[in-house]
Structure 1
Amino acid sequence: MVFFTCNICGESVKKPAVEKHYQTRCRGKDKNVSCMDCLKDFYGEEYVAHIKCISEAQKYASQSQGFAAKEPRNKNAQKQESWMDIIRSILDSNEYNLTPAVRSAFQKLQSVDNVPRKKAKFENFVGNCMRMPRNQASQVWDILEKELNKMKEAKQADLARAKAEKIAEIQQKQKAEAEEEAPPKKKAKVEATEDAAAEETSNGVSSDFDWVAQLTKIVTKQEDGIFMEKLRKKLLKKYAKHLSVEELTEKQTKKFQKRFDKQLKLADSLQVDGDLVKIAS
């Protein structure tokens, strides 16, 4: 709790008792106090905003030696500070349309450090210490509770948003990692396809080359038929031209021979008579 020294009479006064002090002992005098810890002077109602001050450990710590005392963590003080934030938020808001009496009550609450945070205790406290009527105390509490619920909802929304952003960030990271791994696989698949096509071409087999149609075309031009070896040479030239090569490799040639024999047997439009190939009658 903050303590002040009255600069008029020199008496030490707790913050909640400053108002009473200037209504009794220093009545009629302008408020003029100084904080006992930080020695700062306050005039009029300035002292109301002075809620927390430095501790004695901080005050007497040797700053010249680079030492700063660690402020002890006080959970109750943190809760009380949050409570004070709610009161200040209400005073700064235009939402509640505070009457002069209610606004005055909230302003008085700012000068009190130990405001209860439960309804029954709060109403008893403001009734006994601040002489606030019961109906006004209930009205003040309802406003406090409404603002508190708003802050809780806002905090929950912030937490939910932060959680959603964290999940989205993780998913994005996982997606990026998956995409980094995907291209090599895709490339490998393409390369495998190209290798298969190359192997097919190297084997003398091509899905674009119509064996039966080409065989039939060559034989049709010969009314009396064509010798098989001559047919083989003619088709070999057409096939080499199809592959855009001048001469087939040894391996391609062997595969071509096998393919030629197979396709010749499968061609229903052709008839093989010994070494002679002609159109089937």
Structure 2
Amino acid sequence: MVFFVCEGCNESLKKSQVDSHASRCSSCHSVTCVDCNITFPGDTYRSHTSCVSEAERYERTVYRGVKKGDERKSGKKIKLNPQEIWNNLIMEASERKSDAPSSIHSHLDTLTSCSNVPRKEKQFRNFASNSLRLRSNDVSVGLVWDFLSKLREEKNEVKAKEKEDKEREEEERKKETEEKQQKEKEQKETKEDKEDNESKDSLEKNSVAPLSKKRKATDSVSPSTVSPLNSPSKKCSTKILKGLLKKERSIRVSDLKKGAVVVLLEKGYDVSASWWREGFGEVLEGKKFKVVEGEVSLT
């Protein structure tokens, strides 16, 4: 139960008494909570329903702090037990007594001074016959219980709606995350496919497969347009063949010859018939190359 002290006249007040006191006390501009000593100007005190625990209030210097798992330690919203929630509901009912029948206004104010009001109807009627000095079958008891039950149902509906909204927001957030991950995955796959295609196109462009086309292109080159230096040496021929074979795992002998001719002509070498018969075959018989069933590969 929260109590306040008027900053104008120092009178102790229950929360339900603050409004009526402020209407007759001209110097009541703010009130201070007895438990936590926080001052609330105007009507901001309404949002203050609980602060320090009973252990903090009464143990004081011997208080050893909150137990493990208590949310007060981390500064988060304090989790109230069912009885504290019910007491806060009674406090709110007293503040909203204008919505209730006028015959039970005083009973609602009386309940705010009790901290052990039962939460079930049968026990509540027994409690009312003692604390409110009413018979358990009195109409006023039923009206008080109905008003409290109505407020509790409203609270439960609001809480259920908030929970539903939270779950929906969580589901939407999860869906957005999954869609984002899927989009990123598709973009990554598209990028990899593009890189693979570019790599494949580059290999096809530089491969020996189109060497026959290159050879045909050189067929139209007349001897007058090329200034041959001399016949290629064995070392030079080996280097050129190795360079062609590095781009492919294996090449047919005929394609390798065509590719070698293209490169040698571009370098200005004289590729004569003797080189075809002797030089090329001698180079392939070296330790650098391996010929199996008409296919040439590096050793």
Name the TM-score class by shorter chain.
0.3 to 0.5
TM-score of the two chains, using structure 1 as the length reference:
0.45
- TM normalised by structure 2 equals 0.43
